[in-house]
Amino acid sequence: MNKNALYAILIALLLPLLGYFIVKSYSDSNVLMPRHYLPDSVVTRTEKGKQYSDTAWHKLADFSLTNQLGQTITWDSLKGKIVVADFFFTHCPTICPPMTRNMRRLQESIHNGKRVGDKTNDLVHFISFSIDPERDSVERLKYWADRFQVDPEKWWLLTGDKKTIYDLALNEIKVGVEDGGVIDTNFVHSDKFILIDSMRHVRGYYDGLDSASLADLSRNLVMLTMEKNPGRESFLAGKLQLMAVVFLVAIALVGFLFYLLRKKNTDVTSGVEKK
């Protein structure tokens, strides 16, 4: 084995190892993901003299409502999806029309990547809950959807049991706490867009009428699509360290083999010279 062959083998072994350290460094770095909201509990533990806190984040309760197509929708209908939600009603004379237009612009910008074959954005779905379900029938929601060109494949307008919707708004998503005040005293009427991850955890509240806040929401949506799903284990989970050890052992064996071959060649050469 000549030196060039040895170097080629060492490079072939070192590149995956280098890749491992790059991936590990990236995964361990402080990537700024959208923060979590609404903790259920915090458990503090001590390991090797260091104190750690484990937070159990609130998982939004399930619901059963009806969309503008007359279909029954639950959280299972959104399994694996990142959701952008808001609360509206079709007789709203103030903020609902501009919020709906902003939601449509956001939805169109997020899904435009599909035109060039980007499937990532299929992870995002939009939901608007009616807080006036007594008047917002399926037919009325269909009228609103047609008025604002809502894509039913990516965006559902939901109506149904009033208690379910109000419990979701006030006790689960807590928009009554986050929006700083009720805009219409007759309804739970928030100007917020709510970002919800695929585990049904609230990850952000954004002003649905403010362009800077909507830009933040758009960026955070992209970040969430790259976030690891804790409910789905990666194929390489727990194996990277083992792979690194295997590569190191392989490098050591190649080096030892080269040493033996070189020593053998040296002995043969010495023997020839003595003769």
Considering the domain architecture, whether residues 18 and 123 belong to the same structural domain is answered as no
User: Average model confidence (pLDDT) for the chain?
Assistant: 79
pTM for the predicted model, two decimal places: 0.69
Considering the domain architecture, whether residues 198 and 260 belong to the same structural domain is answered as no
Q: Classify residue 50: in a domain, yes or no.
A: no
| Domain housing 147 | 58-226
Considering the domain architecture, whether residues 213 and 245 belong to the same structural domain is answered as no
SS3 assignment for the chain: CCHHHHHHHHHHHHHHHHHHHHHHHHHHCCCCCCCCCCEEEEEEEEECCEEEEEEEECCCCCCCEECCCCCEECHHHHCCCEEEEEEECCCCCCCHHHHHHHHHHHHHHHHHHHHHCCCHHHHEEEEEEECCCCCCCHHHHHHHHHHCCCCCCCEEEEECCHHHHHHHHHHHHCHHHHCCCCCCCCCCCCCEEEEECCCCCEEEEEECCCHHHHHHHHHHHHHHHHCCCCCCCCCCCCCHHHHHHHHHHHHHHHHHHHHHHHHHHHHHHHHHHHC
Considering the domain architecture, whether residues 176 and 136 belong to the same structural domain is answered as yes
pLDDT at 25 over 60: no
Q: What is the per-residue pLDDT across 68-79, written as a single tens digit (0 to 9) for each?
A: 999 999 999 999
Q: What is the per-residue pLDDT across 151-190, written as a single tens digit (0 to 9) for each?
A: 999 999 999 999 999 999 999 999 874 533 444 445 567 8
Q: How confident is the model at residue 8 (pLDDT cuts 50, 70, 90)?
A: low
pLDDT-above-90 percentage for the chain: 50
Considering the domain architecture, whether residues 189 and 129 belong to the same structural domain is answered as yes
- pLDDT for the residue numbered 226: 83
Considering the domain architecture, whether residues 185 and 208 belong to the same structural domain is answered as yes
Considering the domain architecture, whether residues 73 and 123 belong to the same structural domain is answered as yes
For the chain, how many structural domains are there in total? 2
Considering the domain architecture, whether residues 164 and 213 belong to the same structural domain is answered as yes
Q: Classify residue 234: in a domain, yes or no.
A: no
Considering the domain architecture, whether residues 135 and 71 belong to the same structural domain is answered as yes
